[in-house]
């Protein structure tokens, strides 16, 4: 992998971990990073889950973070890296998901960017 690609992936991992820290706190971040360190090498060497967010999402799920929280964190991550265009399909009426965004102060920004 070229150095620019390596640096980009490192930055994206940093952004994903930052989202976990900002919205779930350092205790959850530590558990996620511990799990990440256990699974990252084998999954990457096997050609699975090379996307930085997917690796962090897998770690989140493995430490017991609920799926709606993982989805809301994914939106927060995409907002942070300014790539909301990569958002997978979801139910825009999902109140539980929207409530997490509201609690984190991201709902208005999400709606503005999703509409543009």
| Range of the structural domain that residue 48 is part of | 3-115
Total domains in the chain come to: 1
pLDDT at 38 over 70: yes
**For the segment 39-72, what is each residue's pLDDT rounded down to a tens digit?**
877 666 656 556 889 889 999 999 999 999 999 9
Angle between helices 52-62 and 3-24 (to 10 degrees): 40
């Amino acid at each position: 992998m070229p150095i620019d690609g390596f640096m980009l992936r490192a930055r994206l991992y940093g952004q994903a971990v930052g989202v976990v820290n900002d919205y779930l706190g350092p205790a959850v971040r530590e558990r996620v990073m511990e799990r990440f360190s256990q699974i990252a090498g084998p999954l990457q060497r096997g050609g699975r889950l090379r996307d930085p967010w997917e690796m962090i999402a897998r770690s989140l799920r493995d430490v017991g973070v609920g799926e709606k929280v993982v989805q809301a964190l994914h939106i927060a991550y995409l907002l942070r890296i300014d790539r909301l265009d990569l958002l997978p399909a979801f139910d825009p009426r999902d109140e539980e998901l929207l409530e997490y965004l509201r609690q984190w102060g991201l709902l208005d920004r999400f709606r503005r960017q999703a509409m543009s």
